[in-house]
Structures are given as C-alpha cells and as structure tokens.
C-alpha cells in the first residue's frame, strides 16, 4: 500500500491555504486597488504640503514672533499641524471606502477632542506650576502632582476618544480585573518601587539638587520618579537607583543642613610642637578659597597613636562646594605636607621595637657600624 507523502506531510493543505490567500488578496486588490493607490497618493501630497507649511509658519514665527515665546509656540504649532495632517489623511482615506464613510464625523470629533486635550493640558500645567510655587512645593512634589494629574487627564481623554466610536471601556476594564491581579503578583518589584517612590516624595529625605550618599553611591539628585531616583556622581555618571532600595537604606543628605563640616586627618611626629604645627595648618586652611572663614577652621589633636599624633583639620564648606569637597581635602593635605616640610617639622613614620631574648645572636642582628657589646 503506497502512502501519499505530500498528504502525510501536510503539503497539500499548505498549498491549498496559499492558493486561498492569494485568491483573497487578488479579489481585495481588484475591489480596492484604485482606492489604495489614491490613498497613498493623497498621503504623499498631504505630507509634502504639511512639510512646506510647517517650514513657512516656523520661518514667519522666527521672523515676527516674540523671542521669549519661540519654544512654546514652535511646539504648539508643530502639534496642531500634525493633528491636522492626521485628520485630513484619515477623512480622505475614509471617504474613499464606503465602509469607513460613516466614521468621518467621529474622526472629526476625535480631532477636536485632541486639540482640547493638548490645549487643556497646557493650561492645567501652567496653573499647577503657579500653584506649586504659591504653596512652596519643591521640585519633587511638584513633579508628583504634575504626573498624577497628567495620568488622569490622559486616561480621561482616551476614554472619551473611544466613546466617539461607540466603544465603552468601562466593561472591558472590569473584565480585566482578574487579569490585573495576576499582573500585580508578577510585578511586585515594580509596585514596591511605585509605593516607595510615593513614600520618598511625601517623606522628602532629599530634594532635587541635593547631594546625597546612599549605599555605595554619592551624587546630586537630578530626578525622582515613581520608580527610580536618578543621581549624577562626581565622575558625571548617571545612576538610577530603584526607590525600594533607597526607602530601605540609610540616606545621608550632605546639603540639607547648609554648610558641611569636614575633618581631614594629618599625622605629626611626637618630637614636634603641636602649637607650631597648628599655626602653620591654620594658615594653610585660611589660604584656601573654598574653606569657610565663619565658623573658623580649627586644628585639634584627635588621637595619640603608638608612633605619632593624629591631628585633624576641621573646617566648613558651603553647600555649593559640596560637589568639590573631595578635591578640597586632597589639596589641603598636599598644602599641609609642604608647609610642615618647609618649616622643618618631621613627618612621622612607623616604628617597631624588637626585644632579643637570646643575646648570643645579638651581634648578628645588630646593623653594621653600631657600637655595643657582643656579650
């Protein structure tokens, strides 16, 4: 009994499906081919007109418009022209296909609705910015308020646009409630970061522009979103830290208290006089331009070690100079070393005393040229 290999492998079914798709495509091109070509031609013509009109209006705006309003007017003009281009394209294409002709009024209503959404958001954003300044909100809380209002505004606009075509999203959203629970379990980290972001914005351990130290990172806060905190380090590295990690860590704010106090350790030999070294080191700190004069810098003995005294150079820098404080400490160490060396004050070095129990081998351990008894 012979087997039909083509039928066994399913090749006949695939060939039949291919012929069916080809026949359907041929009928579609026969019925709507001219309309498709005309639609493509209209889109190309509208694109050329849109490009030329945009260039002309932007040139007129730059020539006769107020200089201070150029960025806002340019953005608004581009947005209105794009929406108009999309409207004309959608209406023209819908007019060529009888099945889409009844949707032309809804398309025009969506166009008007989009203009109202963009214009309304520009007005709301301006009012929010002015009200945030009146309430004394910092940049982080102002950003939270703006993002929350924008999300509500966009969702409302999307709902109203679907309503123009007779689509009610509320039952669909209700049906997605069960799926939302599954997504919630799968996105626990994202939800934790969102909750932590809101907590940070309300608790405000730092603000935009503050210098902070958290875990292994130290830098200036450049952004605070609902998911991450973005800082820029002294090496100009942009770091995004999940809010969940910051909310559970110790955050050191270097600029919240204004001036920052720094302590620079410096060793001094036991044989040298502390008042003499203090006078030299005070002159070194007074000569540095980024060391604050008030409160005045001080030099203190912090610790007595085995081989030397440990002095500290204590001084303050302003919050504007927090970014450069590592460089300031390195410059002071170098200047202090040179000042002590020029004054003849010896630098300490580690010493270790060795007691020899077996005196018979003392001569072998004694350095050459030293005096002493061999016995």
Give SS3 for 245.
Answer: helix
In the chain, what percentage of residues exceed pLDDT 70? 81
Q: Which position has the higher pLDDT, 337 or 97? A: 337
Residue 334: its pLDDT value, please?
A: 93
Full-model pTM? 0.56
Architecture of domain 260-342: 2-Layer Sandwich (3.30)
Encoded tokens for 112: 């008007």
Q: Please, are residues 332 and 288 in contact by the beta-carbon 8 Å criterion?
A: yes
Q: Which burial class, exposed, middle or buried, applies to 221 when counting CB atoms under 10 A from its CB (0-12, 13-18, 19+)?
A: buried
Nearest CA to 240 among 204, 193, 184, 195?
193
> What does the alpha-carbon distance between residue 49 and residue 336 come to, in Å, rounded to a whole number?
71
Q: Which position has the higher pLDDT, 321 or 103? A: 321
Boundaries of CATH 2.30.30.60 in the chain? 190-253
Q: Buried (b) or exposed (e) across 172-201, using 16+ Cβ within 10 A? A: eeeeeeeeeeeeeeeeeeeebbbebbeebb
- pLDDT surpassing 90 at residue 102: no
> What does the alpha-carbon distance between residue 285 and residue 298 come to, in Å, rounded to a whole number?
9
Residue 70: its pLDDT value, please?
A: 59
DSSP single-letter state for residue 308: S
Tell me which fold the domain 190-253 belongs to. Answer: SH3 type barrels. (2.30.30)
Range among 3-17, 60-74, 214-228, 311-325 rated most confident:
311-325
Residue 375: its pLDDT value, please?
A: 40
Where would I find the beta strands (DSSP E) of the chain? 211-214, 217-224, 228-233, 238-242, 251-253, 260-268, 298-304, 309-317
For helices 139-164 and 104-135, the axis angle rounded to 10 degrees is 160
> What does the alpha-carbon distance between residue 365 and residue 375 come to, in Å, rounded to a whole number?
13
- pLDDT surpassing 70 at residue 374: no
Q: Please, are residues 292 and 316 in contact by the beta-carbon 8 Å criterion?
A: yes
Q: Which residues contact 357 (CB under 8 A, 6 or more apart)?
A: none
Q: Please, are residues 266 and 311 in contact by the beta-carbon 8 Å criterion?
A: yes
Boundaries of CATH 3.30.70.100 in the chain? 260-342
Q: Which position has the higher pLDDT, 165 or 229? A: 229
Residue 10: its pLDDT value, please?
A: 57
- pLDDT surpassing 60 at residue 3: no
Once rounded to an integer, what is the mean pLDDT over residues 169-189?
63
């Amino acid at each position: 009994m012979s087997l039909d290999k083509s039928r066994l492998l399913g090749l006949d079914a695939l060939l039949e499906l291919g012929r069916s798709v080809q026949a359907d495509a041929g009928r579609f091109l026969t019925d709507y081919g001219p309309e498709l070509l005309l639609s493509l031609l209209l889109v190309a013509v509208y694109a050329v007109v849109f490009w030329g009109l945009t260039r002309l209006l932007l040139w007129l705006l730059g020539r006769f418009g107020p200089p201070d309003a150029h960025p806002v007017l340019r953005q608004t003009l581009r947005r209105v022209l794009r929406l108009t281009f999309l409207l004309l394209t959608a209406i023209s294409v819908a007019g060529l296909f009888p099945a889409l002709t009844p949707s032309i009024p809804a398309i025009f209503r969506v166009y008007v609705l989009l203009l109202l959404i963009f214009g309304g958001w520009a007005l709301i954003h301006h009012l929010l910015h002015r009200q945030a300044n009146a309430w004394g909100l910092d940049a982080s809380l102002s950003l939270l308020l703006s993002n929350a209002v924008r999300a509500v505004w966009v969702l409302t606009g999307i709902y109203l646009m679907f309503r123009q075509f007779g689509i009610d999203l509320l039952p669909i959203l209700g049906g997605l409630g069960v799926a939302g629970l599954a997504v919630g379990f799968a996105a626990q980290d994202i939800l934790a970061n969102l909750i932590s972001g809101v907590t940070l914005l309300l608790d405000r351990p730092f603000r935009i522009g503050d210098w902070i130290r958290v875990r292994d990172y130290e830098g200036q806060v450049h952004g605070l979103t609902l998911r991450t905190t973005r800082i820029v380090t002294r090496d100009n590295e942009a770091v995004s830290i999940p809010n969940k990690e910051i909310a559970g860590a110790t955050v050191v704010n270097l600029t919240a208290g204004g001036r920052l106090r720094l302590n620079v350790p410096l060793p001094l030999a036991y044989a040298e006089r502390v008042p003499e070294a203090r006078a030299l080191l005070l002159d070194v700190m007074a000569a540095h331009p980024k060391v604050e004069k008030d409160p005045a810098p001080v030099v203190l003995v912090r610790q007595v070690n085995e081989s030397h005294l440990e002095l500290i150079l204590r001084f303050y820098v302003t919050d504007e100079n927090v970014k450069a404080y590592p460089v300031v400490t390195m410059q002071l160490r170098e200047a202090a070393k040179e000042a002590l060396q020029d004054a003849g004050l010896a630098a300490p070095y580690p010493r270790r005393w060795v007691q020899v129990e077996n005196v018979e081998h003392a001569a072998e351990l004694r350095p050459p040229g030293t005096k002493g008894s061999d016995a």
